[in-house]
Amino acid sequence: MSLFNTILGALDSPDRSGSSDGLGAILNTVQSLSQANQANPENLQSAMSIVGKHVRSSLQEKRTHEGENSVQAIVNQFSGTSPSSQVVQILFSNPQVQQIAGEVEAKTGLSAAMIQAMLPSLVPLVLQFLQSGTDVRDPQNNSVLNAFLDADGDGDVDIADAMQMASRYLGK
30: nearest Cα among 158, 164, 157: 164
Angle made by CA atoms 68, 104, 18, in degrees to the nearest 5: 40
How does pLDDT run across 116-170, given as a tens digit for each residue?
999 999 999 999 988 888 888 888 888 888 888 865 554 445 666 666 666 666 6
For the entire predicted model, the pTM comes to 0.85
Q: Give me the number of domains the chain comprises.
A: 1
Average pLDDT taken over every residue of the chain: 85
How does pLDDT run across 93-102, given as a tens digit for each residue?
999 999 999 9
Residue 136 lies in domain: 3-170
Residue pair 81/26 in contact (Cβ under 8 Å)? The answer is yes
